[in-house]
């Protein structure tokens, strides 16, 4: 069964210079971060055409966590478990709970920031949360003249959900501003890894000042279709005074579903239904919180 | 590719394909009996091993990541005192996983217990403990621990046992270890 199989060539650079040299000689070589997605979906052993691998495991500069009073930067090889631990100092408890609910600790210890953001075929829950937090990534283009640019997480994907970054671009850092006073709501049905075709993930962040909603950032994730950052939700929720009338909630939900249907015609009816229920549930939760306070 | 690693206390040197998953190495080259299924990354959760003391799905670990690692499978774990605690807890609660998932669920329970014990050791500071007692946060922490255990156990897709029963196993096992530590100190 395993006869005549060529083994993948694995290159483990220790610095950026080595990595650039190797990538220029082997542009088709695949970046290997945690390998959670690649081993589960992309790499099937035994394969007749094994691909060359660049393992980023020994790149210490990609494992750094830099923080100050207002922001935190994670290297792309930091694992999601470390992110959820460090997050406690920078984000509200709801955001921390959402980060700790991404899969199990066993998987989070293996999955990395870079891997979770740069999977080609699916969009992960981590990307959804980072979009609502307005996070941005440092992209390094591995050419003779090294070029570095910062890209917002939601701008990493096009409308159809494909990763825009070229194969010679390496995500090196993730930058997030601290937000301890924001309201955060996160809901996921199904896992992007095991039920990608039916899963829906929803995250929304907003500020609540004297019962008025402001600075709303909402993101729906349909793993195989793409991320949907709803401008309509963001603009129509901002400035609304709570509690909201149920008729208004219904109208807003209908508008949202219409917007999603227009932009992602390939979505399944079950995903539409789930998205509308999640959004409604968020608004009713918000109403309940305000009524309980008064 | 040449790989040197330690599996169940023995040093091995293999010449294998660099992307061969650890589970296949354990089945083909070491003939580990507790590894039964190859789901090829479908997250069946039946291939848990400890790599350098941390639980991991062996189907997600390629050979090139094994170089220099210390791997513990259920075969050697079952000879430890930690396993005897879990086995005793299974008997006390009256819930034993089926043959297919027994090894993996036991390894997951061990990983849960290790994490909870680490958290508890952080709370060993008397000032912190008193503060928690006063503000009755202990119940909240216990509820969080139960949720954590249920989430971790969900990694194994076998439905032979109820999660709530396995949470009882975790609690019983934690109690055995706590008592043993008290006796020691």
Contact B19 A8 (CB under 8 A): yes
Report helix angle A93-100 to A125-132, nearest 10.
Answer: 160
pLDDT bracket for residue A232 (50, 70, 90): confident
Q: How confident is the model at residue B110 (pLDDT cuts 50, 70, 90)?
A: very high
Q: Which of residues 66-95 of B touch A (CB under 8 A)?
A: none
Task: Provide ipTM, 2 decimals.
Answer: 0.90
**A99-113 mean pLDDT:** 93
Residue A2: Cβ-neighbour burial (10 angstroms; 0-12, 13-18, 19+) = exposed
Choice among A46-50, A212-216, B83-87, B133-137 with the minimum mean pLDDT: B133-137
Chain B neighbors of A35, CB-CB under 8 A: 60-62, 65
Q: What is the pLDDT of residue A193?
A: 86
SS3 of B34, please?
coil
Hey, is the C-beta of B59 within 8 angstroms of any chain A C-beta?
yes
Which has more pLDDT, B128 or B146? Answer: B146
Mean pLDDT across B50-64: 93
**Strand A53-55 vs strand B10-15: parallel, antiparallel, or unpaired?**
unpaired
Compute the distance between CA of residue B40 and CA of residue B20 in angstroms, rounded to an integer: 11
Subunit contact B60:A106, Cβ cutoff 8 A: no
Measured in degrees and rounded to the nearest 5, phi and psi for residue B50 equal -100, 125
Average pLDDT of chain B is 88
Residues 6+ apart with CB under 8 A from A64: A73, A75, A78
Interface test with B, best of A9, A41, A103, A106 (most B CBs within 10 A): A106
- Residue B136 confidence class, pLDDT cut points 50, 70, 90: low
DSSP-assigned beta bridge partners for residue A218: A204
pLDDT-derived band at B125 (thresholds 50, 70, 90) equals low
Band of residue B128 on the pLDDT scale cut at 50, 70, 90? low
Neighbours of A7 (CB within 10 A): 15
Give percent of chain A above pLDDT 90: 63
- Give A216's pLDDT tier (boundaries 50, 70, 90): very high
Instruction: Kindly indicate the confidence band of residue B87, based on its pLDDT and cuts at 50, 70 and 90.
Output: very high
Query: In this structure, is the dihedral angle defined by the CA atoms of residues A9, A10, A15 and A16, taken in order, positive or negative?
Result: positive
Q: Span A258-263, mean pLDDT?
A: 93
Q: How far is A60 from chain B (nearest CA, A)?
A: 16
Averaged over A66-70, what is the pLDDT? 90
Check pLDDT > 80 for residue B73. Answer: yes
Q: Is the pLDDT of residue A229 over 80?
A: yes
Interval A152-207: pLDDT, tens: 998 998 877 788 888 889 999 999 998 888 899 999 998 888 888 999 999 999 99
Confidence tier at A78 by pLDDT (50, 70, 90): very high
Dist. CA A58–CA A60, nearest whole Å: 6
Distance of CA B76 to the CA centre of its chain: 13
Contact B64 A55 (CB under 8 A): yes
Residues of chain B neighbouring A41 (CB-CB closer than 8 A)? 41
Lowest mean pLDDT among A97-111, B40-54, B112-126: B112-126
pLDDT at A285 over 70: yes
User: Above 60 in pLDDT, residue A3?
Assistant: no
Residue A43 has pLDDT above 70, yes or no: no
* CB proximity B119 to A under 8 Å: no
- Say if B162 is an interface residue toward chain A (CB within 8 Å): no
Average pLDDT over residues B57-63: 91
Asked whether residue B153 carries a pLDDT value surpassing 90, the answer given is yes
Of A10, A40, A45, the CB nearest to B43: A40
B99 to chain A, any CB pair closer than 8 A? The answer is: no
Residue A36 · residue A104 · CB < 8 Å: no
- Compute the CA torsion angle A91, A92, A97, A98 (nearest 10 deg): -70
Do B19 and A53 count as a contact with CB atoms less than 8 A apart?
A: yes
* Cα–Cα dist B51/B57, whole Å: 9
pLDDT tops 60 at residue A2: no
What pTM was computed for the model? 0.91
**A165 near A118, Cβ under 8 Å?**
yes
pLDDT exceeds cutoff 80 at A274: yes
Omega of the bond leading into A244 within 30 degrees of 0 (cis):
no
Q: Between chains, do B60 and A35 touch, taking CB under 8 Å as contact?
A: yes
């Amino acid at each position: 069964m395993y006869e005549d199989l060529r083994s993948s060539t694995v290159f483990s650079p220790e610095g950026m210079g080595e990595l650039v040299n190797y990538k220029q000689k082997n542009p088709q070589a695949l970046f290997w971060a945690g390998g959670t997605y690649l081993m589960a979906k992309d790499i099937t052993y035994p394969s007749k055409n094994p691909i060359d691998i660049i393992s980023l495991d020994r790149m210490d500069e990609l494992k750094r966590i830099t923080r100050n009073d207002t922001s935190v930067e994670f290297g792309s090889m930091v694992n999601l478990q470390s992110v959820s631990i460090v997050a406690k100092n920078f984000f509200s408890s709801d955001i921390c709970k959402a980060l700790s609910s991404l899969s199990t600790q066993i998987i989070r210890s293996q999955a990395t920031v870079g891997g979770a953001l740069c999977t080609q075929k699916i969009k992960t829950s981590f990307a959804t949360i980072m979009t609502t937090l307005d996070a941005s990534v440092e992209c390094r283009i591995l050419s003779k003249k090294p070029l570095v640019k910062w890209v917002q997480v939601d701008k990493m994907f096009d409308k159809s959900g494909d990763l825009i970054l070229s194969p010679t671009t390496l995500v090196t850092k993730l930058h997030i501003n601290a937000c301890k006073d924001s309201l955060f709501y996160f809901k996921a049905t199904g896992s992007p890894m095991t039920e990608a075709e039916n899963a829906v993930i929803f995250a929304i962040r907003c500020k609540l000042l004297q019962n008025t909603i402001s600075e709303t950032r909402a993101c729906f994730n349909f793993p195989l279709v793409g991320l949907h950052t709803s401008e309509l939700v963001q603009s129509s929720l901002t400035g609304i005074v709570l509690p909201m009338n149920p008729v208004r909630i219904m109208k807003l939900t209908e508008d949202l579903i219409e917007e999603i249907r227009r932009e992602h015609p390939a979505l399944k009816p079950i995903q539409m239904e789930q998205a509308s229920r999640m959004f409604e549930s968020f608004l009713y939760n918000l109403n309940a919180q305000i009524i309980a306070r008064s | 590719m040449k790989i040197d690693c330690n599996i169940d206390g023995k040093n091995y040197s293999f010449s294998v394909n660099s992307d061969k998953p650890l589970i296949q190495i354990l089945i083909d080259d070491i003939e580990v009996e507790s590894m039964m299924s190859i789901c090829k990354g479908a997250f069946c959760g039946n291939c848990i091993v400890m790599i350098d003391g941390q639980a991991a799905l062996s189907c997600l670990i390629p050979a090139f990541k094994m170089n220099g690692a210390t791997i513990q499978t259920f075969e050697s774990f079952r000879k430890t005192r930690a396993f005897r605690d879990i086995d005793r807890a299974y008997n006390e609660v009256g819930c034993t996983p089926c043959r297919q998932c027994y090894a993996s669920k036991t390894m997951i329970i061990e990983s849960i217990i290790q994490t909870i014990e680490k958290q508890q050791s952080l709370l060993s500071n008397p000032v912190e403990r008193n503060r928690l007692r006063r503000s009755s946060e202990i119940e909240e922490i216990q509820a969080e621990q139960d949720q954590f255990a249920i989430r971790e156990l969900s990694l194994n897709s076998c439905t032979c046992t109820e999660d709530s029963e396995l949470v009882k196993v975790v609690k019983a096992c934690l109690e055995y270890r706590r008592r043993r530590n008290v006796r020691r100190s």
